[in-house]
Structure 1
Amino acid sequence: MNTRIEDFDYFLPPDLVAQYPAEPRDASRLMVVSRKTGELSHATFRQLPQWLDDHDLLVVNDTQVFPARLKGIRDTGGRVELLLHHLPVPEDNGAISRKARASAGYRARRRLRPGQTLTFGPDLTAVVLALPGPGTVEVRFFSQTGNVCQKILEAGQAPLPPYIRRDPETSDRSRYQTIFARQPGAIACPTAGLHFTAQVLAELREKGVETVSITLHVGPGTFTPVRVSDYTQHRLAPEYFILAPEMADRLNRGRALGKRLVAVGTTTVRVLEFCLRQEGFAAQEGWCDLYIYPGYRFRAVDRLLTNFHLPRSTLLLLVSAFAGRDLILRAYKEAVEQKYRFYSYGDCMLIL
C-alpha cells in the first residue's frame, strides 16, 4: 500500500479558512458523507437530528481548553510567546503555590537560553530551565503575591491555532470551547463539538440519542505536522485521557444493545479505539498515543462527526482511514467548490 503523505494533499483557497465561528453555533454547514453509496449531501448542523436516532450513542470529548498562550518579555527586552503544553504543575506544597513548572513551545526572534528570565506581568515571571528540542522549552513560573497557577491562567490567552490570523478576542475564551467542556487541560479545542447547542442536544434526546463523555486533553501531538514522506514513520506524541467507569459501563451497555457509536471528533475516536478490549470497554486513564492511518481496522466507532482538516495532517489520515482516501478527497473537493469553511472554526461532516 502506498504510504506517501503527499497523496493526502488538496488545494484550499486561503479565504475558506474560517477566522471566526458561525453564529449561532448550529448555523455551521454539515456535509453528510455515505460510505456505503459515496453520496454527498448538504445541510446545516441544526439538522443533525435527521440522521441520528435511538440506535445511535453519541460520544463526546469533555476536555476544557485553558488559556495556554502567554505573551511576555525576555530579560534582553525582546518579545517571547509561550504555548504551554499542559496545565502548570505546582512545585511547592503550601496552601498557595508560588512556583510551578511547565513545558511549552515558544516563539522568539532569538533562541532562548537556560537561566533567562521571562516576564509575563507585574507578578508573573518564569526562568528557562532547559531547551529539550527545537522550539520547545521547560520553564519554572514564579509569583510573589498569589497562586502562581491562577496568575498563569489570568495572564493567558485562548490558544487559537496559527491559521486563525488574528489576535484572540474576549469572546474566544467561550467560543473556542465546546458546550461539553468540563475537565480543564487541553491546549486545543476538540472542534467537532463546537457546533452543538442546547437545542440540538434536546432534539437528539427526544429521538432517544444518549450522550456519553470521554476526556482527552488535546496536546501538541494532535497537530504536530507529518514531516516524513512515509507517514507510517511519523510518531504521535501521547496525550492524557480518562474513560471513567460509569462511561465505560454505558458504552458497553450500548454495544450490547446493538447501538452505533457516533464519535464526535478524532480525539474521541482515538480514545474509543484505544480502550476497547475483547471483553468490551475497560475504564482507565493514562496516555494515549494511538496513531490511526489508512489500513487501520476500526473496532469501536461506527459513525464520525468531524471538521475539515489540514492537508497532510494526522487528522486527515484518520478520517481517510475511516472513510477511504478517494471518498474523503472527493468530499473535500466538493466542500471547496461549495465554499464550506475549513478548520477549527469551520464547518463539519458527518460520515455514515
Structure 2
Amino acid sequence: MSSPLHHIIIGSGSAGFGAAMTLRSRDKNCRITMITMDSLPFYNRYDLPRVFRGHHDWRELLAMPPSYYDELNITLRRSSKVVDVDGARQIVSLAHQEDVAYDRLLVCAGGRSYLPENISQSADLMHGFGSFEAAMRLYQALPAGGRAIMIGGDMIGIDLALTLLDTGYKVTLITNQQTFWPHAVSKDEIPPLLRALAKKGMEIIEDARPVAVSASGKKGAGRRVTMEDKRKIDGDVVMSFCGLSSSVEFMLGAGVDIERGLLVNTELQTNNKTIWAAGDVCQIWHDEEKVYKFYHGWKNVRIMGELAARNMSGAHDIFDVDIKDRLDIDAKGNLRSTFWTH
C-alpha cells in the first residue's frame, strides 16, 4: 500500500488557507503541511484596519481557531521561514536548518510591501501594515487625533486611510505612480478620485517626490518627510503603500521560471510538474494577450488557491479571472474597488 501524498503549502493567507481546505475536502488521507512566517493562523489581512475600531484581540480576526487545523489533520508550521526549495529533489529547506520532503508543492507566499528606492534608506523610520503585530504597532504609535503620512496610496493603503479618517485621525497622502495600485488608472481618471478622497478629509500632496524620512518634526511630531523640492511634511507616523513585490527569493534555486513572480500556466502549474503557485506570488499565462499577468485582490487570490489545490489532486481546471478590474465613485462619493471585493 502506497504512502499518502505529502502536500506542502508555503504561505497561510487567503490562497494557502483555501488550498488547504480544498485539498482536505478532496483527499481525507493525504498529508498537508502549511509553512508560514506569520505567528498567527490564517486571518484576512483586509480586516487589519479594524484594530483602529477597537479590535485588539488577535482571536477576533482569525478565520478559524487553531484547533480547527488539528481537527482536519493539517500541520501548521508557524513562524517558520523557507530559505530554499530544491525542485529536483523535492525538498523545502527552513531557516533553522530543517529539510522537509514533499510530493507536491504549492507556493502561496504572497508579496511584501514595495518600498521605492528614493525612500528605502528610511525604512527603519516607517511603519508597516502587513501583519496583525505591525498593525498593532502602528495603532500604538499613532496618538488619538494624530496624523499619518502615507506615501503612494495603493488600494490597501487607501482602505486604511479611510478607516483612519473615519475614526478621528488625520491623513496626508503623498501621491506617486503607485497611487490606486493595482488599478490601471488613466491621467484623466486620477483627479476625480483624489477629489473624492479630499472630500473625506484627506490632505493630498501631488507632484512631490519624498527623499528622506527623519525622526524629528516641529511641535513634537514624531516624523518628518522631506521632499526633493525641500518642502517638509510633519506627522506622527509615516507609511509606504506602493504596491507589492512578490516574495520569490527562496525559489531562485528551485529550477522554475521567474519574471517578477513565479510563471505558471492557466492551471497554475510551473514548469516543474510538482510545483504550483497561487496568489500575489505568481504571474498567470494569458493566452489571448500572450503575456504572463498578475491578478490581485482577495477574491481572485482565494479562487487561485482553491483551483491550484484541485489541480494538485488530479483536476485540470483553468483559471479565469473572476472579477474585472474596476475603480469608480458611487452616488454618495465613496470609492468602489473590485480589489476590496470579499
* Both structures adopt the same fold (TM-score exceeding 0.5): no
- Greater relative contact order (CA < 8 Å, ≥ 6 in sequence): 1
TM-score when scaled to structure 1? 0.30
